[in-house]
């Protein structure tokens, strides 16, 4: 069954309602390694209820509709889907507990051609159910490697951020735990690829990989630490392109350039000489 362009374009997402608690907020931060030094009060603020702050990247877990591309009605070969890019705009500092509404939609679908795949662009508004305020907009691209050539238009996506041609202003190494994915998955993404060695081997990995959005969250942590002195209210946008997976237990190196009112960044695994995030952009209030 080929990709069903009409069905996807008109996909009716269920409105997701979520009760966000302080425990959820703390668990998300722990899944990114915050609190590594429990005496560091600046990191403790993200994992301790007294004066608790939300990590801005937590927005990507809020109102999440699940891995809906696995639905047979899409016609997508879901085993060949890769997370391509992630974008985030934050309009108000995220609450640490709230009633949340997530409203998702398909923005457009780009046909790269037979044998070249297709890209699905989707977005989600994150709304405070009690006040009606829009808190954030989350967007992503899904690269469907096995679904090109359905006769659609080859539309370009958003232009990726360019990195400066100079040495970075900051280098931030973050060491992940061997059990990092087992913690992060408790924030909503229960894909067995990140927990079950047999599932990981069945799709070509030596062992379970870290969630792409966990690596994305590490980028937020690196920016907060290196540039913003942990002032989470100043981080109002975070965009990135995924290049390769991280294995739990690896050290991720972030190279960060300050560029006026924002930062540009990329991330790599020095031990394997592999780029894992590229064309990163963080925007500041």
CB 167 within 8 A of CB 107: no
Answering whether pTM is above 0.85, one says yes
For helices 212-226 and 22-31, the axis angle rounded to 10 degrees is: 90
pLDDT at 1: 52
Question: In whole angstroms, what is the distance from residue 45 CA to residue 183 CA?
Answer: 19
Q: Which of 90, 127, 209, 269 is catalytic?
A: 209
End-to-end Cα spacing for the chain: 46
CA atoms within 13 A on the CB side of 226: 24
- Tell me which of 26, 102, 188, 194 is the catalytic residue: 194
Question: For residue 28, is pLDDT > 60?
Answer: yes
Catalytic residue among 24, 111, 147, 189: 189
Fold assignment, 170-284: Thiol Ester Dehydrase; Chain A (3.10.129)
212 is catalytic: yes
In whole angstroms, give the CA distance from residue 64 to residue 67: 9
- Would you call 170 a catalytic residue per the annotation? no
CATH topology of domain 5-144: Thiol Ester Dehydrase; Chain A (3.10.129)
Rounded to an integer, the average pLDDT of 19-40 is 97
Give the tens place of pLDDT for each residue, 166-213: 999 999 999 999 999 999 999 998 888 899 999 889 888 999 999 999
Tell me the two tokens of residue 15.
């409105």
Instruction: Decide: 28 and 55 in contact? Cβ < 8 Å.
Output: yes
Among 31, 212, 217, 280, the one annotated catalytic? 212
Model confidence band, residue 66 (pLDDT cutoffs 50, 70, 90): confident
Please confirm, yes or no, whether 194 is among the known catalytic residues. yes
Q: For residue 171, indicate whether it is catalytic.
A: no
**pLDDT for residue 176:** 98
Output the six-digit token pair for 140: 């992503």
Ranges of each domain in the chain = 5-144, 170-284
């Amino acid at each position: 069954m080929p990709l069903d362009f009409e069905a996807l374009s008109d996909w009716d997402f269920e409105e997701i309602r979520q009760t966000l608690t302080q425990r959820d907020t703390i668990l998300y931060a722990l899944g990114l390694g915050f609190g590594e030094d429990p005496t560091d009060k600046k990191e403790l603020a993200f994992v301790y209820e007294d004066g608790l702050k939300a990590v801005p990247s937590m927005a990507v877990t809020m109102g999440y509709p699940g891995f809906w591309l696995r639905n047979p009605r899409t016609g997508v070969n879901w085993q060949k889907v890769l997370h391509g890019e992630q974008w985030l705009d934050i309009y108000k500092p995220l609450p640490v507990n709230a009633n949340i509404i997530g409203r998702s939609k398909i923005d457009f679908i780009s046909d790269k051609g037979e044998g070249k795949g297709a890209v699905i662009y989707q977005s989600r508004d994150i709304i405070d159910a009690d006040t009606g305020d829009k808190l954030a907009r989350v967007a992503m691209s899904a690269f469907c490697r096995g679904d090109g050539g359905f006769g659609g238009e080859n539309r370009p996506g958003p232009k990726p951020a360019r990195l400066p041609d100079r040495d970075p202003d900051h280098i931030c190494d973050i060491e992940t735990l061997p059990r990092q994915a087992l913690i992060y998955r408790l924030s909503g993404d229960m894909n067995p690829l990140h927990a079950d060695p047999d599932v990981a081997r069945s799709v070509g990995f030596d062992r379970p990989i870290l969630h792409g959005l966990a690596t994305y969250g590490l980028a937020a942590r690196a920016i907060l630490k290196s540039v913003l002195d942990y002032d989470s209210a100043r981080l109002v946008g975070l965009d990135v392109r995924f290049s390769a997976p991280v294995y739990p237990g690896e050290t991720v190196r972030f190279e960060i350039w300050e560029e006026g009112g924002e930062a540009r960044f990329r991330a790599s695994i020095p031990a394997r000489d592999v780029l894992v995030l590229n064309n990163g952009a963080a925007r500041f209030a």
